[in-house]
Amino acid sequence: MYMTLHSNNGSLTASEMTQLSPAALGLIAEFFKVLSEVSRLQIVCSLKSGAKNVSEIIEATELGQANVSKHLRILTQAGIVSREQRGVCVYYEIANPILFELCEMVCDSLSIQITQQSEQLEQLGKLRRA
């Protein structure tokens, strides 16, 4: 029996994850894919300080207009940002703060890796010099 994403009232423990169905893995993969583009991470980061309209996002990220528009559509569909029209302008806002936790965890993890690698390189250097 596979585990679906909304079994158990929407909460999955790590041990249950082993049995995630291909469909659930597909949703997870899709979510990660949305976060796997530098441009989209830039946009999200630019919204960290609060809601911005498209023009403001373009200015903050220095990306092209059409490009930003497309990325915002992807982020909205993924439920990561929310969209609100105010007159001519459309304001976007972080809708899913989980994202920053995720990034933080990845940052920490990568930092540790980088630190370990540089330590290993240093050890290697010492061995060479010896």
Partner DNA sequence: TTATTATATAGCTATTTAGTCATAAATTTC
Partner DNA sequence: GAAATTTATGACTAAATAGCTATATAATAA
Q: Which residues bind its own copies (CB under 8 A)?
A: 5-6, 10-14, 17-18, 20, 22, 24-33, 35-38, 41-42, 45, 48-49, 79, 96, 98, 100-115
82 binds DNA (CB under 7 A): no
Torsion sign over Cα 96, 101, 104, 106: negative
Q: Binder to DNA among 19, 73, 105, 117 (CB under 7 A)?
A: 73
Least distance in Å: CB of 29 to DNA? 10
Q: Which does 20 bind (CB under 5 to 8 A by kind): DNA, its own copies, none?
A: its own copies
32 makes contact, choosing from its own copies, DNA, none, with CB < 5 to 8 Å by partner type, with: its own copies
The site for DNA, by CB under 7 A, has a size of 25
Question: What percent helix, strand, coil does the chain show, rounded to 5?
Answer: 65, 10, 25
**Residue 24 backbone dihedrals phi, psi, to 5 degrees:** -65, -40
**Whether 30 contacts 78, CB under 8 Å:** yes
Q: Could you list the beta-strand ranges (E) of 11-120.
A: 52-53, 81-86, 89-94
**Residue that has been written with the tokens 């994202």 in this structure:** 99
Q: Is there binding between residue 85 and DNA (CB under 7 A)?
A: yes
